[in-house]
Amino acid sequence: MPEYYYKVIFDPIGAEKMIALVLPNEKSSQPLQKFVVTVDHVESITGIDFFSGLEDSIENQLEASSDASLWTFTSHKSTYKTESSNEPTSKQCLGVRCKNKTTNANGHCHVHQGQASGAVKKIETKTTHSGRCQATTQKGTQCKRNASSESRYRWQHQ
């Protein structure tokens, strides 16, 4: 796991500006301004030339600057919903061995709706099948024999 990560931003709108941040890969209550560095610094650490497409004089000037006052840093509230909100909360599916989350009232995810009480079950109709057996052999290949007339498998595989 990396100890640090970086972010490099270029804003070409209006007065062109750049900013770079190198942040520790851990929880922090420090303001983002504390982690502002020059783009040149991040390039020296990573070996990446981030804005090679810019004219050299502009690139060199912007990459050498690290003025955090040109940028607006705002914090955002978490978007996670709490139990007291009006939004339905997700819960573990009641399906057999299922790890999906669901907000369905019956407690079953979309995969396990058939296991919910009162669910309408599909009635399978028997179809006749003639052709190659659909079983997989011990070697991992498809069986080469013909299937039974009522099934997709040879009698040995049923």
Using one digit for the tens of pLDDT, what is the confidence trace for 72-111?
Answer: 888 766 555 555 556 667 888 887 778 888 888 888 787 7
* Cβ(7)–Cβ(30) below 8 Å: no
In three-state secondary structure terms, 59 is helix
- pLDDT at residue 46, as a whole number: 93
* Cβ(63)–Cβ(51) below 8 Å: yes
Residue 41's closest CA among 13, 25, 18?
Answer: 18
Residue 32's closest CA among 5, 60, 3, 54?
Answer: 5
Q: Is the pLDDT of residue 124 over 70?
A: no
In three-state secondary structure terms, 127 is coil
Q: What is the pTM of this model?
A: 0.47
- Could you tell me which residues are beta bridge partners of residue 7? 21
- pLDDT at residue 34, as a whole number: 92
- pLDDT at residue 127, as a whole number: 55
Percent of the chain past pLDDT 70, that is, above it, reads 78
Q: What is the pLDDT of residues 17-53, one digit of tens each?
A: 999 999 999 988 888 899 999 999 999 999 999 999 9
Alpha-helical (H) ranges within 1-158 are: 39-46, 56-64
In three-state secondary structure terms, 5 is strand
Encoded tokens for 58 = 């502009």
